[in-house]
Amino acid sequence: MQTLANVIRMPTPLVVRGAASAGVLEVLRKGEELFAEGDAADWFYKVMTGAIRTSKLLSDGRRQIGAFHLAGEIFGLEAGEVHRFTAEALAGATVLAFRRTCLELSAHDSEALREEVLASAIRSLDRAQEHMLLLGRKTAQEKVAAFLLDMADRMLDGEGPFELPMSRSDIADYLGLTIETVSRTLSQFTRDSLIRLPAASRWIELCNLHALRQLNVS
């Protein structure tokens, strides 16, 4: 079984250890804010343990979650001078904070960091493009299937049940659905034997990957 303890809380080896681009370790409690929308984007971050969500409040008061960042992933690097989203810990989390200016250094360790940031940025761009398509063109079942496949791909090393770090409310705000729709869709997937939901509310097992993938590409 893949738990939060052994999936998203496993320390990720640092690529960069030199003084020129050493990160500052920050420990966050559940729900604690790392940065707010509009804060100066002088730092970017690598998740070491736990998970982070980035979100924005819309003009009508609704929350839109832009991304979930898991262990080993880099986030918070902006094109502009301020952050466009608010970042909060989904559960207890630790992150490494790096100054943006360290990417401008010529030291060898900074080059390694630049390469890691570039690779992470490409993956984030791919996910952002998929998220835009998901929000605009997919049905509720297609959205939930795509989300579950993405989480399994990022969290699982093999097969079996795993524990989602986010609530159904978080999932709903990420997919542009209501909590009720997310719950109904998960229940339907369970009845159709596409997934299994163990007793703990955030545990899930994908039982029919082929059917879920067919939904995702439909």
Domain extent for 83:
4-135
Residues 46 and 130 in one domain: yes
Last residue of a domain, one of 82, 110, 135: 135
Nearest to 73 by CA among 121, 130, 18: 121
Choice between 108 and 94, residue whose per-residue pLDDT is larger: 94
Nearest to 195 by CA among 187, 205, 203: 205
User: Distance of CA 74 to CAs 49, 97, 160, 165, 177, Å?
Assistant: 12, 10, 26, 17, 27
* Total number of domains in the chain: 2
Q: What are the pLDDT digits (tens) for 20-36?
A: 456 899 999 999 999 99
Q: What are the pLDDT digits (tens) for 101-138?
A: 887 765 555 677 778 887 877 887 778 877 877 777 88
Q: What are the pLDDT digits (tens) for 189-198?
A: 999 999 999 8
Residues 173 and 109 in one domain: no
pLDDT over threshold 70, residue 100: yes
Residues 119 and 181 in one domain: no
Bridge partner residues of 33 (DSSP): 88
Non-local (6+) Cβ contacts of 50 within 8 A are 4, 8, 9, 28, 71, 89, 90, 91, 92, 93, 94, 165
Residues 158 and 130 in one domain: no
The pTM score is 0.81
Last residue of a domain, one of 119, 135, 151: 135
* CATH at 59: 2.60.120.10
Residues 95 and 169 in one domain: no
Question: CB of 151 within 8 A of CB of 163?
Answer: no
Check residue 39 and report its DSSP letter: S
Last residue of a domain, one of 135, 167, 196: 135
Residues 126 and 154 in one domain: no
pLDDT over threshold 70, residue 158: no
Question: CB of 161 within 8 A of CB of 4?
Answer: no
- Of all residues in the chain, the percent with pLDDT exceeding 90 is 57
Residues 35 and 127 in one domain: yes
Residues 113 and 194 in one domain: no
Residues 25 and 85 in one domain: yes
**Axis-axis angle for helices 140-155, 179-191 (nearest 10):** 80
Residue 19, pLDDT score: 38
3-state secondary structure 82-144: ECCCEEEECCCEEEEEEEHHHHHCCCHHHHHHHHHHHHHHHHHHHHHHHHHHHHHHCCHHHHH
Q: What are the pLDDT digits (tens) for 65-84?
A: 999 999 999 999 888 899 99
pLDDT over threshold 80, residue 182: yes
